[in-house]
């Protein structure tokens, strides 16, 4: 099966729609983390399938991967999108390092930010993540990223924020760009 062109905006829209289809998603969001993670992973798998990708969970140790198969041989495949979902607002930088070493067209990190208790702004943390990506000893190409941050369950009054980063394009376009305004998602 051949995957379609991957659009960040389309992915985000499908993620918001998938979450909002579940009437009790807000209860899951503030409930046990494993329930929320399972819910998100199932939506991510459905999005990949709907986009025409082969989908694998925990392949290469990543939460979800979207693949295309380029021939009749199912073992001749390419990893197009690598997605990590990290519940902890303290350990997501580890997922940045993991994804930085994965060769995929698009890397997506879904994580959470504590707006009430963070000692550093989200934008500053993301700039550090970009610096970490650029400083890897071994680099994969392309380095095209999406960062999605929801609020932690201690303060669900903030909207999810989406940022794009692409190291393959010119310096001006390389800056983090926000996307969430078109398809807002708020837990409260």
For residue range 20-41, list pLDDT tens digits in order: 999 889 888 888 777 899 999 9
In a domain, 53, yes or no: yes
**Average pLDDT score over the chain:** 85
In a domain, 139, yes or no: yes
Question: What DSSP string runs through 122-165?
Answer: HHHHHHHHHHHHHT-SS--S--EEEEEEEEPTT-TTSBPEEEEE
Least confident of 44-48, 51-55, 76-80, 174-178: 174-178
pLDDT at 67 over 60: yes
pLDDT at 173 over 50: no
Residue 174 domain boundaries:
8-178
On whether the CB atoms of residues 22 and 28 are closer than 8 A, the answer is yes
In a domain, 147, yes or no: yes
As a whole number of angstroms, the distance between CA 163 and CA 183 comes to 13
In a domain, 186, yes or no: no
In a domain, 188, yes or no: no
Mean pLDDT of 148-162: 88
On whether the CB atoms of residues 95 and 88 are closer than 8 A, the answer is no
In a domain, 133, yes or no: yes
Task: Give the count of domains, the chain.
Answer: 1
In a domain, 158, yes or no: yes
On whether the CB atoms of residues 167 and 174 are closer than 8 A, the answer is yes
In a domain, 24, yes or no: yes
Residue 1's pLDDT band (cuts 50, 70, 90) = very low
> What's the pLDDT score for residue 182?
67
């Amino acid at each position: 099966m051949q995957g379609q062109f991957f659009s960040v905006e389309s992915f985000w829209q499908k993620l918001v729609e998938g979450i909002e289809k579940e009437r009790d998603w807000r209860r899951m969001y503030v409930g046990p983390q494993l329930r929320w993670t399972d819910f998100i992973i199932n939506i991510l798998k459905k999005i990949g399938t709907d986009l025409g990708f082969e989908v694998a969970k925990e392949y290469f140790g990543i939460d979800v991967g979207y693949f295309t198969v380029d021939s009749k041989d199912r073992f001749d495949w390419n990893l197009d999108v690598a997605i990590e979902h990290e519940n902890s607002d303290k350990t997501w930088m580890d997922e940045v390092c993991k994804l930085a070493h994965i060769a995929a067209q698009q890397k997506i990190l879904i994580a959470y930010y504590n707006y009430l208790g963070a000692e550093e702004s989200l934008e500053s943390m993301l700039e550090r993540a970009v610096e970490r990506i650029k400083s890897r000893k071994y680099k994969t190409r392309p380095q095209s990223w999406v960062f999605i941050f929801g609020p932690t369950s201690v303060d669900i009054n903030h909207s999810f924020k989406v940022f794009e980063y692409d190291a393959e394009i010119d310096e001006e376009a390389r800056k983090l760009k926000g996307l969430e305004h078109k398809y807002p998602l708020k837990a409260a």
